[in-house]
Amino acid sequence: MRTAAPGPKGKYGVHARTVLETWAKRCDDFIFFTDSPMSPDIPHIYWKELSSRDHSWEKIRRIFRHVVDGIEEEYDWYLRADDDAYVIVENLREFLSKYSSKEPHYFGYRWNFFVPHGYADGGVYILSRPAVEIFNRVMKSPVCPEHHRAEEDQEMGRCLAAAGIHPEDTRDENGSDR
């Protein structure tokens, strides 16, 4: 599982260290994508020109383009998490073990507005490798505009929906959200 964590400017020192010292070390790999310079001992890619929340959609497009173009196919799942999120990686692995990573999957807390089949909340969502590859193909179409927007989670939902990928139900056997 590869994890990417974009986040708000100015909080990286505290948030990045906290994430790295807690749940990130239980991922197979982890990288921050940042609009603020970071310490060289923190795994990150710095994109200075995207230094506001208004560019979050472009950041996500670049992140997933990097995942396909810049990384060999060694990861089955890609977790996108804000730098203030906390993930219980063991529970996530158990949840994902019930699904084939060879099929396109899109998981996260599902909102059912703005996008016909809903979209996964931008705080944390998970894509299988095929879903990331499909996203990269559909992102080049007019259905996935290149404009700069803050609502990257809604745009991700629209683009994946155009390719027939919708957020899946992640509730547990009691109907509770995970």
Q: Can you list the domains of the chain with their CATH numbers?
A: 2-162 (3.90.550.50)
Backbone angles phi and psi of 60, in degrees to 5: -65, -40
Q: Which residues pair with 124 in a beta bridge?
A: 81
pLDDT, residue 141, reads: 83
- Please check whether residue 24 is in contact with residue 2, taking contact to mean a CB–CB distance below 8 angstroms: no
Looking at 51-55, 117-121, 167-171, which range is the least confident one? 51-55
Quick check: 144 pLDDT over 80?
yes
**Pair of tokens at residue 159:** 């683009």
pLDDT, residue 8, reads: 44
**Once rounded to an integer, what is the mean pLDDT over residues 72-78?**
80
pTM of the model: 0.84
3-state percent helix, strand, coil for the chain, nearest multiple of 5: 35, 20, 45
Quick check: 128 pLDDT over 90?
yes
Confidence band of 1 (pLDDT split at 50, 70, 90): low
Total count of residues recorded for the chain: 178
Quick check: 117 pLDDT over 80?
no
> Could you give the percent of the chain with pLDDT greater than 90?
29
Quick check: 23 pLDDT over 80?
yes
Quick check: 78 pLDDT over 80?
yes
**Once rounded to an integer, what is the mean pLDDT over residues 4-28?**
76
